[in-house]
Amino acid sequence: MQKEIDMLDVQKIREDFPILKREVNGKPLVYFDNAATSQTPQVVIDAIVDYYSNYNANIHRGVHTLSQEATDAYEIARKKVQNHFNAKHTHEIILTSGTTHSINIVATGFTNLLAKGDEIIVSALEHHSNIVPWQMLCERTGAILKVIPMNEEGELLMDVYDQLLSDKTKLVFTNHISNALGTINPIEEIIQKAHNVGAAVLIDGAQSCPHIKPDVQELGVDFYVASAHKLCGPTGVGLLYGKEEWLNKLPPYQGGGEMIDQVTFEKTTYAGLPHKFEAGTPNICGGIAFGVALDYMNNIGFDTIADYENELLDYGTKKLLEIEGLKIYGTSKNKTSVISFNIDTIHPYDIGSIVDKLGVAVRTGHHCAQPIMDFYKIPGTIRASFSFYNTKEEIDILVEAVKKAKMMLG
């Protein structure tokens, strides 16, 4: 493992990210809010500039050269996404505005596939975007929402999951990794057990994809969703992977151009996959840049990234726990490079505000995962989330900033 970590030249990688050269409040930027959005390498920025500078045109509709060039680049990006996630077919990749959009396509599509009394299961570790759409689905259909509970370590109680499953279960959805705690959920087991009772499974991969390279065919998952901006790509673009048979069952999410076959005032027929779910003009340059971002991360290597980030997690955990009164939430042995913590009774917002003055960017609050905070009976946490372009020296800066904040507020 150590040899592989040594292959990652962090200082060289940091040169790829222009924002890491800037200062905040007169201090060098230390960016530890990667779970909210990753930073963007120059090669991705260049791809966006190149699109608008050289072949900005709408796709799929034009016979002129610019339109054909833009269409080719966009569809090449879709192919890159297919290859990255190992989908069986390119048309199983729907390019969306992000994870939330992707989840809502599925949740809305199931409206006519559920009956009153059917059951759907969510985990206690979810982001609001993987809770609220399903609650809305239950309101429309009369289906019943059940929750896999969690323990103090931030792990799902899988024995309770076994009890929740039945022939009434139609859908199961959970995140691959918790954005608030960093817990890596046992999705292979979750998927297999759901399939044993005939239920479909959606996995929210927004937090896992920066750290893990999922193989959707190996997982056997029915739907997998993610966002480009967690993967060194731009905001406003993401993906919905769905098995072909499931995507064919779901109706279009929106009506408009691009998603049609034939339109008359009497009747409209819809296009095949993937266009059925891609109404209107998409984020063309975002899709193209998403493909470039995947190339960039794959060139580094996800195994190398995971090993290095685990080293940062171990180091950061050890250093932060040396601070008296500091408590980490989410202590699963199987977790990724997220440390969510509080200090005594000091409000997390106050800590976050002070460390920002020292150039350190962390996230504070409930992280769109309010049920987790309610479980721990806290208003929120301070979350430091690390990426492959971060360093141990930056963690040392964070630790000193937190100590200073504690001294000022204690």
CA-nearest of 41, 90, 2 to 272 is 90
3-state secondary structure 313-336: HHHHHHHHHCCCCEEEECCCCCEC
Query: Residue 362's closest CA among 343, 341, 346, 385?
Result: 385
3-class DSSP state for residue 139? helix
CA 157/CA 319 separation, integer angstroms: 29
Residues 6+ apart with CB under 8 A from 32: 360, 361, 362, 384, 385, 386, 390, 394, 398
Backbone angles phi, psi at 28, to 5 degrees: -60, 135
| Cα distance between residue 282 and residue 293, in whole Å | 18
Element (DSSP H or E) covering residue 363: strand 363-365
> Looking at this protein, which amino acid is placed at residue 296?
Y
Q: Which residues are catalytic?
A: 368
350-371 CB burial, b ≥16 within 10 A, e <16: ebbebbbebbbbbbbbbbbbbb
